[in-house]
Structure 1
Amino acid sequence: MIKSFKVIITGQVQGVGFRPYVYVLAKQLDLTGTVSNNEEGVIIYLTGKEENIRSFVSQLIENPPKVSRINTHTAREIVLKDYEDFSIIPSKKGSKLNLQLTPDFAICPDCAGEILDASNRRYNYPFTTCVNCGPRWAITNTFPFERNHTSIVEFTMCPECEREYTDPLDRRFHSQTNSCSKCGIGMELTDSQGEILQYLETELFEKIGELLKSGAIIALKNTSGYLLCCDATNPETVQRLRDKKNRPNKPFAILYPSFDLLERELRLTNKHREALSSAERPIVIIQKEAYKGSLALKELAPGLNQLGIMMPYTGILQLLAEHISMPIVATSGNFHGSPIISDNEDCFQTLQSVADYFVHHNMPVSNPQDDSLVKFSSKFHHEVIFRRSRGYAPNYFGKVHSGKEKILAMGGHLKSTIGFIPNDYIYLSQYLGNLDNYDVYTRFTQTANRFMEIFEQKPDTILVDSHPEYQSTQFGKELSKELSTNLFHVQHHKAHFASVLGEHDLFERDGPVMGVIWDGTGYGDDGNIWGGEFFSYQDGQIDRIGHLQYFDWLAGDKMAREPRLSLLSLSDNHMEDTLSRKFTSQEINIYKSIRERNKLKTSSVGRLFDAVASLLGICDYNTYEGEAAILLENNIKEYDLSACKSYASLPDTGNIPTQLLLKNLYNDYANGTSRENIIASFLYTLAHLVFEMADKHKISDLAFSGGVFQNTTLIDMLIELAGTNYKLYFNRNLSPNDENVSFGQINYHIYCSGNKKQ
């Protein structure tokens, strides 16, 4: 019997070739009707045999386009409609946007092959894309995702591209980013004075490759912003880039031109290979044991036994890879601490003193993004997202129930992101950075306004951190007054806890969950600096049930920059000799005087890591956030739990005895125990204390968040010690660091009692 159905698909279904896929499938099953994008996803009208329609829906849901992600689908019979054929019709905007946005996708194998094929018309064209790959969020101005809603709109398709765009059998059928060298985006190479160096398009990347081999630093505009590139095997050039970029120690990302070269030089796991070849294509942190190659290791990753590796993910980088035989540095185009640059003139003015040459193109980047960064633990291959940006933002695929309340969350301060619920979905911005930097703060405020513009919605409620001096809190307060919205404060570590509860849908479960929230700093409910917290959650209530015993917070933010201050704060008289090697006698007298008068305390595990790193002679001064903790983990290659010892047990008071822990660790150090064994035992102590706390409160479901849980060795220990007696939950789609605070604020506001309204 002939019937008509209306099918609605929601999720990541725009900009992924969904409508062309629907078109071909409908034609194969002899169905007539239409398909179009709307503000909620994809809407399909079908007329034909009922069994064919049901087969259509089944095949579409079970085998959707490769980079799509279906969230919901409905199919209901409607009044019989008569169609002459099946067609894709233009999107019509009739209401507010209510769909998931589309992140950028790495270049697919088909497009990568075409730009390297001399017989193909897209040979050497770096902006070659199709429905399965290319920039999406980077070029989005508004939605639904149509060409005229992107920054590519100014490039009118030539007849050949138009033919592909309208051919149902072509891979570029309704590809909104379709272009070629005749009608598309142009590139130019200039020197540091802005003089254009004339090279044929076919010779451009060959010339860039030659310049890199000669020791040049090049600012290269990619599809999501500029990269600073140089030969990663040239120590002098890498060091010159460090000096110019004002980045003394933080490791550089390294772009390998091919998997063949990478496999010859580094040992990869299957998890590494999957991530490096995925549609997200993040930077992957890989151990460099048994490294076989000529990288300038000391200059690329000072003091580290790991490297941040990436593979070409755009046509630009793929073509460049064909003209270089060596790995290159591919770090964000900025000065250390500033946001990635995407504007041509801004890049030239800002980086003229850094780059020897510039490679620009004329496609505007609407939403600049850094490269995402992930790491896998050595023993259990647990994935940790260190930075969530290109390829992941701005979608979140879990469920969040907000009702009709529109919520804007301003997140934290050091690793800022913005969260927004304007409809049925939650949107999380790309990593934005440290709001102490004026340019980062400007991009932060622009991103908040951009979200409101894209969705044409103002928030009913704005959420801010409880720290009164955070720039995100200040901006949230100002915006709340301007928009006349509700304003709520959410305690920093409770937001971290709520982020894990939200990711794993634990808010409505039976029984308690213990939160282990460890990081460097966060404003506590008692006015002290928290960072070593234990919470319990049940029935909408979060309670603090324990923490690291308080120690003195010295010299404000300087304490986070100088690990030696954490050691001084936690030290007692028997560490005098160690301190005398790190401070002058005058400094010691000043800080001891400050310590005697000090009233501000901290429970920070991050600062405890700093103290241990300083004590062991690993790091006294941080040149980037978390440096001491990273170097500390870096000093342990592997561990044997049976050989580890605990430096402290949980006392009856229920709080971790911080000073006793460090004193016992110091005794091991003074007695000549190796640094590697001490670090392993330190991490084992922390892991063991978690389970002591869990047993004390009779809780077996444990949730972990905070920057400390970027330590993959600690995660492996926790997993190993837990066995089958405990259930562990970690951030999985979000970073455990402060990037998840905006998401946690939203979840706390929706599900937990105790909101603090201004």
Structure 2
Amino acid sequence: MIKSYKISFSGQVQGVGFRPYVYNLALEFNLKGTVSNNEDGVLIFASGDSQNITTFYQKLIKFPPPISKIKNSSIIEIENVLFDYFKIIPSTKNGQLNLPLTPDFAICNNCKNDVENTENRRYNYPFTTCVNCGPRWAITQTFPFERNNTSIAKFPMCPKCEKEYNSPPDRRFHSQTNTCSACGIQLKLINNLGKTIVIEQSNLFKKIAILLSEGNIIAIKNTSGYLLCCNAEDPKVIQKLRDKKHRPHKPFAVLYPSLEVLQKEVILNENQLKSLTSAELPINIVSLENYNGKIALKEVAPGLNQLGIMLPYTGILKLLANELSFPIVATSGNIHGSPIINTNADALKKLENIADYFLQHNLKIEHPQDDSVVKFSTKFQQKVLFRRSRGYAPNYLETSINSEQKILAMGAHLKSTIAFYPNSNLYISQYLGNLDNFDVYKRFTEVTENFIQLFEQQPEIILVDKHPTYQSTQFGKELAKKTTSELIEIQHHKSHFTAVLGEHNLFDKKVLGVVFDGTGFGDDSNIWGGEFFSYQNNKIERIGQVDNFDWLLGDKMSKEPRLSLFSLASEEMNKILKQKFTSNELNNYSYLKSQNKLKTSSIGRLFDAVASLLNITDFNTYEGEAAILLENSILNYNLKTCKTYCQLNSLGFSAKEIIKNIYKDVEEGIDRTQIISNFLFTLATHILNFSKEKGFNKIALSGGVFQNTTLVDMLIELASKEIKLYFHKDLSPNDENSSFGQLMYYLNIHK
């Protein structure tokens, strides 16, 4: 019996080949009707045999297009409608946008084959995409996701592309990013004086490979922003890049030409392999144990036994990689600390003293994004996101929110993001950076305003961090006045805690929250960073902390690990302090300490103090350097040989006692790797013992300290079967999760 149905899908269903997939499936089941995008997702009207429609619907749910993510679906029988055939019809927008935004996807294997096949008309065309891959969020101007709502609309399709676009069997059927060399985006190579290098397009990537092999630095405009590239096996050019970029020690990411080349040099596990071949294709931080290559490791990743690696994720990078016989440094195109550059004019202006050449194109990048970064712990393969950006942003599909209010969360300061809930979906921006930098702050405000414009919704509630001097807080306050929104301040570490609770949907449970990080303005006006919280029945209570110690000289303390050691050192350590400070400094800092009233419980600063005491570093040239070098000083550990450096008390434990006992081991000549293992073992043991003493069997862990994958592995190994550990899944443990956490706090805790 012929019946008609209205079928709706929401989730990541636009820009993923959903409509062409529906079209072909409808033909398979002999259905007639229409499919279109709308402000809520994908809308289908289908007439045909009712059993066929039911099977069609079930197959769509069970076997959707590969990069789609269905969040909700519905099927409703309607009054019979007569259709002549099944077709894709133009999208309509009858209301405000209410669907997830589509992130960028790495080039798929089919498109890789197209650009490498001399018989294919897309041979050597660097912007080759299909319904399963290519830029999405990077080129989005508005939604629904249609070509005329993106910056690719500037490039009308040629007859051959039109034919593919209208051909149901073709994988470019209704591909909104469809272009070719005849009608598409154009590349050009210029030097740092702006002079065009005249060269055949077919030889362009060969020329760039030669320039890289000759020791040049090339700024490459990718589809999500500029990358600065050089030969990763050439120590001189890497050092030149470091000097010019003002990035003395922070590790560079390395792009390998292919998976085959990578696997000859680096041992990958199953999770890393899966990540490096995924549609998101983030940078993976991998161990250099048994490394078998020629990368200039001292220059690429100073002092580290790990390396950030990636594979070509766009046609541009793939075509370049095909001409390379060596891996290249591929780092964000910016001056260290500034946002990634996305325009040709900006690149030439700001990078002319860094890059020797520029590979540019004429596609406008609407939403520039850094590469995402992920690491898997060694023993238990726990996934830790270090940066959530390209490939993930701006969607967050893993939570259901039921609120009529329009809520904007401004996040933190160092690793800023914003979270916006303007409809029935939640959006979390790409990583934006440190708001101390004016250009980052400008990008932060632009992204915020763009979100508000895109969704045509003014926030009713604006959430900010309690820290009065955070730029995100100050901008949030200004915006609240401008939009007459209600402003609510949320304590930094409580938002970290609720971020984990939100990711795991634990608001109906009793949970211990452990938040260990660098800094955060506390409810008592001190600097928190080593906190134990209880959560139950929609209430959070701070039930423990690392014993307070002196917070000295503001931001200077986070940049100089020796100051953390000075704050925590006992008198017996004076001989070590004399090696690290001048007599004038010691006198001045001793006076400041005697007058100081500002205290901290920061575990981040405790890591700094340990790193300084062990002579790993006394100065941080990038955020978290001491902690990263500390973890990198040990390759593995043995729990049987570990001991704790302090006793647990009813409220927490003492950082001063830890430093005092580490000093004793240093004096006794105990091996540094054993001391670091003991230190991490102390933290892990006290977290688990604290939960046991307070009667918790669920522990949620957040804060930048939990980017330390050795500590994560220890916790997993030490936890009894009765204890359930909750780490971040789809967000970073660092301050990037603050915006999401603020939103979760407001919805579940704030009354």
Q: TM-score, normalised by structure 2?
A: 1.00
For 1:691, the aligned partner's letter is L
| Counterpart position of 1:92 | 92
Matches within 5 A, 1:343-742: 343-509=343-509, 512-652=510-650, 654-742=651-739
- Contact 1:244/1:353 (CA < 8 Å) preserved in 2? yes
Matches within 5 A, 1:153-168: 153-168=153-168
For 2:603, the aligned partner's letter is V
C-alpha deviation, 1:400, in angstroms: 3.5
Matches within 5 A, 1:26-65: 26-65=26-65
C-alpha deviation, 1:290, in angstroms: 1.2
Mapped partners of 1:125, 1:66: distance in 2: 24
| Counterpart position of 1:747 | 744
C-alpha deviation, 1:579, in angstroms: 0.6
Helix, strand or coil at the partner of 2:385: strand
Helix, strand or coil at the partner of 1:702: strand
For 2:539, the aligned partner's letter is Q
For 1:111, the aligned partner's letter is C
- Cα RMSD, aligned residues only: 0.6
- Contact 1:340/1:369 (CA < 8 Å) preserved in 2? yes
Helix, strand or coil at the partner of 2:400: coil
Matches within 5 A, 1:84-483: 84-483=84-483
Mapped partners of 2:700, 2:61: distance in 1: 33
Helix, strand or coil at the partner of 2:396: coil
Mapped partners of 1:724, 1:6: distance in 2: 48
Larger deviation, residues 11-20 vs 195-204: 195-204
Mapped partners of 1:37, 1:656: distance in 2: 56
C-alpha deviation, 1:378, in angstroms: 0.2
Helix, strand or coil at the partner of 1:452: helix
Mapped partners of 2:402, 2:671: distance in 1: 52
For 1:738, the aligned partner's letter is D
Q: TM-score, normalised by structure 1?
A: 0.99
For 1:166, the aligned partner's letter is N
Question: Which digits, 9 at most, give the CA deviation of each residue in 1:715-757, with x for residues without a partner?
Answer: 0000011131200001110000000000000000000036xxx
Question: Which digits, 9 at most, give the CA deviation of each residue in 1:557-607, with x for residues without a partner?
Answer: 100000000000000111111111100111111101000000000000000
- Contact 1:400/1:502 (CA < 8 Å) preserved in 2? no
For 1:447, the aligned partner's letter is V
- Contact 1:400/1:747 (CA < 8 Å) preserved in 2? no
Helix, strand or coil at the partner of 1:115: helix
For 2:619, the aligned partner's letter is Y
For 1:87, the aligned partner's letter is K
- Contact 1:234/1:296 (CA < 8 Å) preserved in 2? yes
Helix, strand or coil at the partner of 2:116: coil
Mapped partners of 2:725, 2:750: distance in 1: 24
- Contact 1:402/1:421 (CA < 8 Å) preserved in 2? no
Mapped partners of 2:652, 2:27: distance in 1: 67
Mapped partners of 1:545, 1:400: distance in 2: 29
C-alpha deviation, 1:658, in angstroms: 1.6
Mapped partners of 2:655, 2:251: distance in 1: 31
Mapped partners of 2:596, 2:400: distance in 1: 43
Question: Which digits, 9 at most, give the CA deviation of each residue in 1:84-103, with x for residues without a partner?
Answer: 00000000111001101100
Question: Which digits, 9 at most, give the CA deviation of each residue in 1:151-189, with x for residues without a partner?
Answer: 000100000000000001100000000000000000000
Mapped partners of 1:440, 1:662: distance in 2: 36
For 1:628, the aligned partner's letter is A
Question: Which digits, 9 at most, give the CA deviation of each residue in 1:67-86, with x for residues without a partner?
Answer: 00000110111101110000
Mapped partners of 2:681, 2:657: distance in 1: 15
Helix, strand or coil at the partner of 2:420: strand
Mapped partners of 2:679, 2:297: distance in 1: 28
Mapped partners of 1:739, 1:651: distance in 2: 31
C-alpha deviation, 1:402, in angstroms: 4.1
Larger deviation, residues 278-287 vs 395-404: 395-404
Helix, strand or coil at the partner of 2:741: helix
Residue segments in structure 2 that go unaligned for 5+ positions in a row: none
Mapped partners of 2:498, 2:109: distance in 1: 39
Q: What percent of counterpart residues are identical? A: 59
C-alpha deviation, 1:109, in angstroms: 0.2
Question: Which digits, 9 at most, give the CA deviation of each residue in 1:305-354, with x for residues without a partner?
Answer: 00000000000000000101000000000000000000000100000000
C-alpha deviation, 1:660, in angstroms: 1.0
C-alpha deviation, 1:397, in angstroms: 1.1
Mapped partners of 2:689, 2:716: distance in 1: 15
Mapped partners of 2:527, 2:72: distance in 1: 43
| Counterpart position of 2:19 | 19
C-alpha deviation, 1:249, in angstroms: 0.1
Question: Which digits, 9 at most, give the CA deviation of each residue in 1:508-562, with x for residues without a partner?
Answer: 23xx100000000000000000000000001110000000000000011100000
For 1:746, the aligned partner's letter is L
Helix, strand or coil at the partner of 1:529: coil
Question: Which digits, 9 at most, give the CA deviation of each residue in 1:677-725, with x for residues without a partner?
Answer: 0000000000000012101210110000000000000000000111312
C-alpha deviation, 1:610, in angstroms: 0.2
Mapped partners of 1:724, 1:466: distance in 2: 37
Larger deviation, residues 539-548 vs 654-663: 654-663
Greater than 2 Å deviation, 4+ residue runs? none
Mapped partners of 2:385, 2:137: distance in 1: 19
Mapped partners of 2:311, 2:28: distance in 1: 37
Residue segments in structure 1 that go unaligned for 5+ positions in a row: none
Pairs aligned (count): 751
Larger deviation, residues 269-278 vs 13-22: 269-278
Larger deviation, residues 382-391 vs 692-701: 692-701
For 1:747, the aligned partner's letter is M
Question: Which digits, 9 at most, give the CA deviation of each residue in 1:185-239, with x for residues without a partner?
Answer: 0000001110001111111101001100000000000000000000000000000
For 2:637, the aligned partner's letter is Y
Question: Which digits, 9 at most, give the CA deviation of each residue in 1:443-462, with x for residues without a partner?
Answer: 00000000011101000000
Helix, strand or coil at the partner of 1:699: coil
Mapped partners of 2:667, 2:543: distance in 1: 34
